[in-house]
């Protein structure tokens, strides 16, 4: 048996390139699933995200640029005197994430975040994540007071 002058790889490539024309005359291909078929983030995933996002002392510059919604970016631009992600003006000594609640019907998950400023000074706020955000990102923060 004699191989074509192009070699086996080229011959296979030519055969594969010819396949779509043959397939197109067959039955129609199924449409790709819409976004509603995608799985939503779980409470565990949201908890891990928030722990990573807030870390020990608050979000990094990267987190602020790439892991927040446009809503939060606009909120921060409108309120430059306060860090809207921490509901404060300073970086905390420590950050704790409470249990995550997921409301599938509302398409959102949230947790209470506690910022520790000293042994007896803390602030809490609620951090929200849309269940369908891809990639996962912080959608909103509501300060406690």
Residue 87 sits in a domain of what CATH number? 3.10.450
Residue 57: CB partners within 8 Å, gap ≥ 6?
91, 92, 93, 94, 95
pLDDT of residue 102: 97
Asked if residue 40 is part of any domain, the answer here is: yes
Query: Residue 117: left if φ>0, alpha if ψ -120 to 50, beta else—which one?
Result: alpha
Q: Mean pLDDT for each 10-residue chunk of the chain (145 residues)?
A: 44 45 47 56 97 96 97 96 94 96 96 92 96 95 88
Show the domain range for 114: 35-143
Asked if residue 120 is part of any domain, the answer here is: yes
Counted domains in the chain: 1
Asked if residue 27 is part of any domain, the answer here is: no
Asked if residue 28 is part of any domain, the answer here is: no
The vertex-79 CA angle with 77 and 84, nearest 5°, equals 90
pLDDT of residue 118: 84
CA distance 129 to 139: 5
Asked if residue 125 is part of any domain, the answer here is: yes
Asked if residue 25 is part of any domain, the answer here is: no
Say whether 104 sits in a helix, a strand or coil: coil
pLDDT of residue 145: 65
Asked if residue 100 is part of any domain, the answer here is: yes
Asked if residue 76 is part of any domain, the answer here is: yes
């Amino acid at each position: 048996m004699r191989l074509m002058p192009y070699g086996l790889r080229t011959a296979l490539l030519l055969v594969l390139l010819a396949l779509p024309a043959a397939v197109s005359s067959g039955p129609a291909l199924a449409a790709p699933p819409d976004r509603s078929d995608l799985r939503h983030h779980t409470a565990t995933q949201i908890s891990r995200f928030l722990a990573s996002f807030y870390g020990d002392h608050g979000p990094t510059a990267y987190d602020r640029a790439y892991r927040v919604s446009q809503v939060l970016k606009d909120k921060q631009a409108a309120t430059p005197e306060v860090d809207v992600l921490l509901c404060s003006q300073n970086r905390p000594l420590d950050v704790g994430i409470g249990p995550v609640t997921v409301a599938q019907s509302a398409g959102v998950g949230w947790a209470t975040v506690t910022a520790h400023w000293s042994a007896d000074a803390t602030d809490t706020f609620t951090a929200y994540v849309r269940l369908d955000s891809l990639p996962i990102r912080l959608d909103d923060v509501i300060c406690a007071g």
